[in-house]
Chain A
Amino acid sequence: MPKNPIAPAIGRRGALRLAAAAGTAAIASRTARAASALHEAPGLALLTQQGKLPPAAQRLPNNPEIVQPSVSVGRYGGTMRSAVRGDADHNAILRLVGNMGLTRWTPDFAKAIPNVAESWTTNQDASVYTFKLRQGMRWSDGHPFTADDIIFFTDDLLPDTAFYAAPPPQYVINGKLMQGEKVDDYTVRLIFAGPYLTFPERLAGPLGQHPVLYAKHYCSQFMPKYNPDIGKLLAETHQPDWATLFRQHCGDIETPARWANPARPVLDPWVVSTPYTGGATEVVLTRNPYFWQVDPAGNQLPYLDAISFKVISDIQSIVLAAVGGQMDLELRHVALINNKPVLAQHEKSGRYSLVELDTTDVSAAALFLNQTDKNPALRALLTNHEFRRALSHGIDRDEVNDIVFLGQSAPWQTSPLPQDPFYNKQLAIQYLDYDEDKANGILDKLGLTRRDSNGIRMMPEGGRVFLTADADVENPQLIDVLQLVKQHWAKIGVDLAIKPMERSLFYERGQNNDYDIDIMGLPGGLHPYTDPRAWLSVQPLDSRESLPWVHWYQSGGKMGEKPSPSMVERLQLWDQWKEAPNQQRADALLRQILQLAADAFEVIGISRGTTVFGVRSDRLKNVPAKMPMGWEYPTPAPTLPQQYWMAET
């Protein structure tokens, strides 16, 4: 089994020595800049001299990607400190280190550009993509990275039902799997059964990394096809099948196991040296000597020697560590609007500054009204457009904004954000104004005129107009929002009960369709097609306007419940959108979907997504002061942490 030669060599003490050497090396690299030769980190240069590593020119591809630093060319050295939570917070590492797909988003989240691939071309109807890889590019263990690695995924893993009981939908078009075709060692064709316009954007997000996640020379040893002795290995490790064993060693996109095996070859800028395991107190990733990007001065990236994630179980302790200046970059768990005052207050003493994380969310708080409520009387009300309009007019959004979101948000329904090309004005501002009289008038017209002694309206068939809202206790902001909404709605004679509950119960009740209203944040503010949960019932966990509708759609009409005519139409348009042969057609379809969603108005938005804040220490350079916050992006990967550097180390 090939081992990473660098991992044991750069231990903690090695890193200190590197840090000491960094100062002199920086001067050396500046004098040598005139020559267009490659430069490498001092620690790697040492290993090269000792003959433990091949020279830099042989480690890098013939044409490494030249990355423009966001501010200045940096210096080598330093360990960046950040945090992960103890319970399956693997995506904290993914976001900083591991978003190495064939493509990536530009730093402004505008479009997908080549990343691992040098370039790509596509045919007329966007059903065949030809990716050119970099000649001479290598995995972190020095083994060449070629078209075979991608073919390994498309031919050996993707179609194998033992590996994928159901294939990931991003590689399925028209019910047919993506096909791979090797043109030569550095050219590969990915072929779909129909047009797939958004494929490069899918590849740029975290869920599109599969084709370049698995190194064939390493991972194939866990497959019966390549390793006839697999039975022995399974018996030794008490594993039921090869797929389990494979995932334990080669990981998957979103599992802790991905960061638990230092021997797994990667294309990332840093490689795990202290793994993320159940007993870990710290996760350390050290420089990948074979990383394939350079800066304009010819310095091999990354600049930073290592990233150290401290494992901290309690989120408040992470905030405390950030405030105490113990984090060089923490964008994840501290990024809540309520933390802004405490973070801002200690900026000086903690020697850090705030990073503005621009929201990519549609809404910080949205009410999903269950369109398939089990209670027939309530269902009649919740599916009534006029009733929903009254509820919307009955919410004082300015008060919610001032009290819960510290004035940092704004009243908003469920449109994509104004800067997005798919912004829909009606979907953004309809029924936003707080108007008790208007709301009461609408409800009176609906025949809900009788009131009980508390002023709560009575249903015509008896019983009060009584709605229950479920909320996840781990998001106390949303519960605060509900408290205010409850007061507002009492004024229009609608009684709201708030049920905060443990997260798994919240999701279980969703799956069982046991709720009237759910309150949640709403992603998809930019590139709305990446998460259309509020406009289209396609998201099996979170399209809470009606999960039975999602089941209906996913099962092709066999299960669940047939959606409203408007939703059926939207879902048909969505199917057409997926196969749209050109961009104009696709965009027109998406606009049509959003317009239908605006007319149907199933989800009541309360507040727009808010800008939140993370921290970066003053010594960490090249971190943009402002970046988008989102999972598809995923923050901060497209700003390229490999070009962050440390001023004094």
Chain B
Amino acid sequence: MARFIIRRLLGMIPFILLVSFTVFVLIKLPPGDFVSNYAANLSASGETVNQATLIQMRHEFGLNAPFLVQYWHWIWGVLHGNFGYSFKWQQPVGTLIGERLGLTLILSVSALLFTWAVALPIGVLSAVRRYSIADYLVTFVSFLGLSVPGFLLGLVLMYIGVTVFGENLGGLFSPQYLNAPWSLARVVDLLRHLWIPMVILGIQGSASLIRIMRANLIDQLHQPYVDTARAKGLRETTLLVRYPIRVALNPFVSTLGWVLPNLISGSVILSIVLNLPTAGPMLFDALLAQDQFLAGAFLLLLCALTVIGTLLSDILLALLDPRIRVQ
């Protein structure tokens, strides 16, 4: 096992380097560069900028250098732990991402836990009590959750909040706590705002999870080993939890590879609509503005998380399912 993990870890290095190059190519691929985007944005608000300033900026940001030279400067810095400066904010990329990471993780992890807490029991229930009224109800609601996009739910909730309750539901803090230092009151305020995106994200995530859990479990419930266990007189709940559910969990674990990067970059549109200070909107803006070092660092981070997540899910799978073994 240890050899397997080390081999996989070593394999990651060239892979991530290769990805970093691809990422850089992709960021540079759209027409224009950061400076032309900057000028276009100002121009679209009816504001003008001197040609001289644009020339100055290109010079300052090194955008005139050949592609490979720019890439080399970037990756050399990254290898030394210096992710460069965001063109737009003139702040170190590391700080920018770091600032947003905390709240992002709080939101995504709570939404993930909420999803699992809701989806797994309901999925089991609707599989075990197939074609019952509860199953139909759950199926109906989960199809609704699948088909309504989260940002729409967010918009509707916000509109109701403003017009009916006269309160802004966006953001993660009330105005008086926006820049306050951390305190118990601020945590309470955070929790009061956090439930809205958590529930919206949760509804979306659980809808599909319920369907997957239900289908997986139904597959297992009629396997001979279940009948055997039941014939041997095992209690129904013990039987369920010990055998079929364990097997049905496999797909969850093997998708862990996607869960990790999703924690950072998931829910971009919802975050923009609800005005959440998470990483998603920042990644989105960086890509739109071609803020190449910020976007690059983000994508690199996501890619690294995907690779690590896949490794983790492989290890967990081996632990969970005795049939899977390292060869």
Number of A-B contacts (CB under 8 A): 184
Q: Tell which of A39-47, A291-299, A498-506, A638-646 binds the partner.
A: A498-506
Most chain B CB within a 10 A radius of its CB, from A166, A317, A361: A317
Least CB distance, A278 to chain B, in whole angstroms: 4
Partner of B50, one of A207, A241, A312: A207
List the one stretch of B51-59, B134-142, B183-191, B245-253 in contact with chain A.
B51-59
> Chain B contact residues: over half helix, strand or loop, or mixed?
helix
- Is B60 a contact of A320 with CB atoms below 8 Å? no
Q: Does A260 contact B (CB under 8 A)?
A: yes
Chain B residues within 8 Å of A87, by CB: 41, 88, 285, 288-289
Q: Does the CB pair B162–A324 fall under 8 Å?
A: yes
Cβ-defined partner of B59 (8 Å) among A86, A165, A539, A542: A165
Residue from A86, A349, A472 whose CB has the most chain B CB atoms within 10 Å: A86
Q: Answer yes or no: B266 CB below 8 A from chain A CBs.
A: no
Q: Is A384 an interface residue (CB 8 A)?
A: no
Shortest Cβ distance from A248 into B: residue = B90
Interface size class of chain A, counting residues whose CB lies under 8 Å from the partner chain: 35 or more
Q: How far is the CB of A242 from chain B (nearest CB, A)?
A: 11
Q: Which residues of B contact A326 (CB under 8 A)?
A: 168
Q: Knowing A91-B42, A238-B82 touch, does A260 contact B90 (C-beta < 8 A)?
A: yes
Contact (Cβ within 8 A) B46 A256: no
Cα–Cα distance between A634 and B47 once the two chains are bound (Å): 9
- Determine whether the beta carbon of A314 is less than 8 Å from that of B273: yes
Q: State the Cβ distance, B259 to closest chain A Cβ, in Å.
A: 24
Contact status of A531 and B48, CB under 8 A, knowing A256-B90, A314-B272, A314-B275: yes
Are A277 and B275 in touch, CB under 8 angstroms? no
If the complex has contacts A256-B89, A281-B173, A313-B275, are A168 and B36 also in contact, measured as CB distance less than 8 A?
no
Which of A243, A248, A321, A349 is the one whose CB lies under 8 Å from B168? Answer: A321
Identify which of B11-19, B120-128, B174-182, B228-236 touches chain A: B174-182
Q: A278-B96, A279-B100 are in contact. Are A508 and B53 (CB under 8 A)?
A: no
- Indicate if the CB atoms of A507 and B51 lie closer than 8 Å: no
Across the interface, do B50 and A168 meet the contact criterion of CB distance under 8 Å? Answer: yes
Given contacts A12-B176, A278-B282, A325-B166, contact A472 B56 (CB under 8 A): no
**CB distance A88 to B47 under 8 Å?**
no
Does A257 have its Cβ within 8 Å of any Cβ on chain B? yes
User: Counting CB contacts under 8 A, is B22 at the interface?
Assistant: no
B20 within 8 A of A: no
B37: CB under 8 A from chain A? yes
- Determine the chain B residues whose CB is within 8 A of the CB of A503 once the complex forms: 37, 40-41, 44
> What are the residues of chain A within 8 A of B95 when measuring CB–CB?
279
Contact code string B262-279 (vs A, CB < 8 Å = 1, else 0): 000000000111110100
B313 at the A interface (CB under 8 A): no
Residues of A within 8 A of B281 (CB): 86, 313
CB <8 Å contact, B53 and A168: yes
Distance of A509 Cα from B36 Cα, bound (Å): 12
Q: What is the CA–CA distance of A207 and B49 in the complex, to the nearest angstrom?
A: 8
CA distance A230 to B200 in the complex (A): 51
A167 within 8 Å of B by Cβ? yes
- Chain A residues lying within 8 Å of B50, measured Cβ to Cβ, are 168-170, 207
Interface residues of B in 94-109 (CB under 8 A from A): 95-96, 99-100
A505 touching B31, Cβ below 8 Å: yes
A254 to B178: give the CA distance in the assembly, Å.
Answer: 26
B162 and A323 contacting across the interface, CB-CB below 8 Å: yes
| Beta-carbon contact of A631 and B176 below 8 Å | no
Please list the 5 inter-chain residue pairs (A to B) with the smallest Cβ-Cβ separation, ordered nearest first: A279-B99, A508-B31, A324-B162, A166-B52, A507-B40
Given contact pairs A207-B49, A240-B62, A279-B96, enumerate 18 new A-B contacts (beta carbons under 8 Å): A86-B281, A165-B55, A166-B56, A169-B52, A206-B47, A238-B85, A274-B179, A277-B89, A278-B282, A281-B173, A281-B277, A320-B162, A320-B168, A324-B168, A507-B37, A508-B31, A508-B36, A631-B47
Q: Provide 23 A-B residue pairs closer than 8 Å at the C-beta atoms, listed in order of the A residue.
A: A86-B282, A165-B55, A166-B52, A167-B52, A168-B52, A170-B50, A239-B85, A254-B49, A260-B90, A277-B99, A311-B277, A313-B272, A324-B162, A361-B46, A503-B37, A503-B44, A505-B31, A507-B43, A511-B36, A541-B40, A630-B46, A631-B45, A631-B47
A: residues with CB less than 8 A from B are: 12, 86-88, 91, 164-170, 206-207, 238-241, 243-244, 247-248, 252, 254-257, 260, 274, 277-279, 281-282, 284, 308, 310-314, 316-317, 320-321, 323-326, 349, 361, 472, 474-475, 503-509, 511, 521, 523, 531, 539-542, 554, 630-631, 634
